Structure 1
Amino acid sequence: MVDVLIILLIIILNGYFSLAELALVSVTTEELTEGNLAQNTNAIRTLKLIKNPEEFLSAVQVGTTLLGLIEGIYGGSVVAAGLEHWLSGWGVPLYFAHTGSLILGIGSITYLTIVFGELVPKSIALQFPLKVSLIIAPSLVIFSKIAYPFIKLLTYSTHKILELLAIKTPEHKKISENDLKKMLGTAYNQGLLEKKQFWMHENVIAFKNRTAFSIMKPARITLTLSSAWSTAQVKSLISKKPYAYFPVISEDPHTVTGILKTKTFLLSNDDDWHDSIMDSYEIDSSLPVRDIFTHFKEMNKDFSIVVDAHQKFIGILTMQDIMEAIFGDLPELEDYGKYVKQRSEKVWVAEEFIHLQRLRTTLSLDWIRPYEAIYLSVGELLRGEMKSSPILEINGVKFQWSTEPAHESQVVITLP
């Protein structure tokens, strides 16, 4: 009976080390430093363990190897001897009783070890890594001190072998963009984030890849003022389209000479509207949006002129455009519905700058949402996804550039 209890104890201890190994590998630094856990003694011990993975893995390996040796030498012979005596009592020939007892003895111990010493503990550790880590940390620290010489030898050997293989051990595991996306997806699937919150977080991740060109309002649909206009002409246009700012151009439509702030103009008593013109703030079309946002804050700006590599005026960009890149389309004076037109029952035509969000809501294309985390506009979608074929087909919907000479920047959308 004592022998059986010893074997069961060995299996339980094996399960303990399996539990400890997977729990410590699965738990994260963020989980151990949240809220009240930041001052928790066991959490601090666990942090020390996971910061030196080679040491705790060596401790676990020492434990499991030692138990495996004891189990193999002691367990097999003890159980086999008992089974051999039992089989002989049933009249089984001595040779077959001896062989059968070894097979049954080793087989039963192996089964119990796999189930209760490996699978069950590891399943528990995967489901509750934080709780398990906090519970086992104190005892594993004690065992590490007892087996210190062996652990140091194993850790040193591991480092040297990794050096020979030219593999560097990182001090801290860095979270990649894909890791962050997976965590957000998990949070959404578990109900921790609502759909709109999930979408907004995806937009924030994609924000770093946006440039001025990708979110600007193109020059061809921007209302501009001619420097040759009279004050009456300017007032007439502003009364119809009361935007906050207007680019001012000269004879060359690709060159902006300044901007007119509507508020300043309306509050001015000057008869000549040219006196209200301010210097334009120009940005390169390739400038990352995150840098533009920083510049806007530092310079107290909310409007800019976008120019290309040749200093040619190609669009305007406002603080609202930046906000829309994160929060989606916001209410504005411009009626963008006129840039998405229905040509027939199944065919629509959209300007390339139309946001995918607007396209999704207008045409009820719910499947397009994942692409919004990568591309802002329908034009970006085509440039990014279209390969050698002139037609991009996704979920039965066909996208292609217009072949009409005057409308080459338009996208023709054919529904299934």
Structure 2
Amino acid sequence: MSYLIEIGIIAILIGLNALFALSEFAIVSSRKTRLLQRSEEGDSGALIALGLSENPTPFLSTIQIGITLVGVFAGAFGGLTLARNLSSFFTGYPFLAPYSEIMSVTLVVLVITYLNLVFGELVPKRIALGNPEDIASGVAKPMMFLSKAAAPLVFILTYSTEAVVKLLRVRESTGPPVTEDEVRIMLEEGTKAGVFERAELKMVEGVFDLGDRRVESLMTRRHNIVALDLEDTNEENLIKMKMTAHCNFPAYEDDLDNIVGMVSVKNVLSGMLETGKPDIRSAVTKPLFVPETLRVPKLIESFKESGLHIALVNDEYGSIQGIVTLHDILEAIVGHFRESGEVVNMPVVLREDGSWLIDGMAHIVTVKKMLSLNAVLTGEGEGNYDTIAGMVMYILQRIPVEGDHFDEGGFRFEVVDMDGNRVDKVLAAEIPEIKEGSEESSDMGN
């Protein structure tokens, strides 16, 4: 009967250890958003668990005290009771009698340690990870009571720990609680698990990328701008508006650097309904000018403050470099919207031989994503270019000609088409093997 009582006490101690381990992992691994949602639905246990997770030091100290005491008591009790009874069993064998005491203590400690690890640590932790919020809500109240009861001892331990840390001159980390890379990893894992759609992942990644992009990477370049010359007749400008699918047009006098304002199709039509004839000049409204170095988040703020959805982009000398719209920002997040009758023109196209045909105006971020290129390219970190054409010119340090090629980031880039002095098309092919120590940017030539 005494054996059963002793075994029962050991089982109770292991059960207490399991409860502590279960509570610790459940509360620590619970998502605060889910606990908050449950608390708003009236779950008082979830509210307490949320409080413990937001201020975990007293709770974790209490858990550590409990686990330590349980381990000490289990080992001491087993050594004093079970080991003593087991020792009498070994003394029945003459060749084991001299070692009976040490053998019995060793065997009892090993068995108790094994049972405590499996049933007191590993199994409850695995259970807690499977359904942390439900378990945390259930154990929160007794754990809070236990934390209050152990508060004096926790205070002593906390004070002692802080004193030792200060003595060792250990500085606390001031890093951010969650980094952008960690969020990206969580989104990837959620997508693989089916929690998020692949399209949702792409949109969130697009939003993250916007923070590092400048206006010049989104804008329609100067040579592609369709603008209205106010010195032309109204009929000529109407024909120009009809030939494009745009809703807004820059209006200028003399040259494109002398922008007078913006003309919307809506304002022109409204004026025609009132007067019966078109008047482009009367439809001109005040434009919004932004520098080409402006970050996209700041551009969004400018759109909100001005109430406009289109802006003209200036360089440091005041010359017009392009035009950017809210539609451009949306396309940077969700991808290109093809208009009715528009021919599909992808900036990066995979060819049958495995190489990539890249439009010169393709943004370097888009190109790296399509090519799965993770290396930092030459000059990229300093912001020396935004497009693949800019990269080519930066690396070659001259106006390229067709046939120019170089190696960069494990790929061979070759200029296959030029439009005047502008790089129109670039061919990228992965290099099968790069010898160690060789330079990534090499073999430049015609």
TM-score range, shorter chain: 0.7 to 0.9
Counterpart of 2:87 (choices 76, 84, 88) is 84
**Residues 264 and 276 of structure 1 are in contact (CA less than 8 Å); yes or no, is this contact kept in structure 2?**
yes
**Residues 360 and 389 of structure 2 are in contact (CA less than 8 Å); yes or no, is this contact kept in structure 1?**
no
Q: 5+ unaligned residues in a row in structure 2: which ranges?
A: 397-404, 431-446
CA distance in 2, matches of 1:175, 1:242: 44
Q: Are positions 1:121 and 2:124 aligned together? A: yes
CA distance in 1, matches of 2:347, 2:101: 85
> What amino acid is the match of 1:25?
V
**Residues 311 and 325 of structure 2 are in contact (CA less than 8 Å); yes or no, is this contact kept in structure 1?**
yes
- Describe the shift of the 1:37–1:131 C-alpha distance in structure 2 as closer, same or farther (beyond 3 A): farther
Greater RCO (CA < 8 Å, at least 6 residues apart):
1
Count of aligned pairs: 404
Root mean square deviation of aligned Cα: 3.8
Aligned to 1:314: 321
1:360-410 Cα shifts (integer Å, max 9, x gaps)? 9xxxx9765999xx9xx98269859x999943456xx64456685834443
Aligned to 1:213: 216
Give 1:137-148 correspondences, 5 Å limit. 137-148=140-151
> What amino acid is the match of 1:158?
T
CA distance in 1, matches of 2:187, 2:222: 37
Aligned to 1:391: 407
- Describe the shift of the 1:102–1:232 C-alpha distance in structure 2 as closer, same or farther (beyond 3 A): same
SS at match of 1:39: coil
SS at match of 2:107: helix
Give 1:87-98 correspondences, 5 Å limit. 87-98=90-101
Q: Per-residue deviation at 1:350?
A: 4.0
Q: Are positions 1:62 and 2:78 aligned together? A: no
Aligned to 2:330: 323
Q: Are positions 1:280 and 2:287 aligned together? A: yes
Counterpart of 1:412 (choices 400, 403, 426) is 426
Aligned to 2:433: none
Q: Are positions 1:111 and 2:118 aligned together? A: no
SS at match of 1:246: strand
> What amino acid is the match of 2:318?
Q
**Residues 247 and 256 of structure 1 are in contact (CA less than 8 Å); yes or no, is this contact kept in structure 2?**
yes
Q: Per-residue deviation at 1:226?
A: 2.9
Q: Are positions 1:190 and 2:193 aligned together? A: yes
Aligned to 1:353: 361
Q: Which moved more, 1:249-258 or 1:11-20?
A: 249-258
Aligned to 1:25: 28
Q: Per-residue deviation at 1:115?
A: 1.5
SS at match of 2:260: strand
Q: Percent identity?
A: 25
SS at match of 1:63: helix
Aligned to 2:301: 294
Q: Per-residue deviation at 1:119?
A: 1.7
Q: Are positions 1:134 and 2:137 aligned together? A: yes
**Residues 364 and 388 of structure 2 are in contact (CA less than 8 Å); yes or no, is this contact kept in structure 1?**
no
Q: Are positions 1:101 and 2:104 aligned together? A: yes
CA distance in 1, matches of 2:25, 2:111: 25
1:189-240 Cα shifts (integer Å, max 9, x gaps)? 2212221122122222323333311211111111223343233321222222
Give 1:43-58 correspondences, 5 Å limit. 43-58=46-61
> What amino acid is the match of 1:18?
A
Counterpart of 1:244 (choices 237, 242, 247) is 247
> What amino acid is the match of 1:352?
G
- Describe the shift of the 1:39–1:179 C-alpha distance in structure 2 as closer, same or farther (beyond 3 A): farther
CA distance in 1, matches of 2:295, 2:308: 16
Q: Which moved more, 1:241-250 or 1:216-225?
A: 241-250
Q: Which moved more, 1:9-18 or 1:284-293?
A: 284-293
SS at match of 2:91: helix
SS at match of 2:321: strand
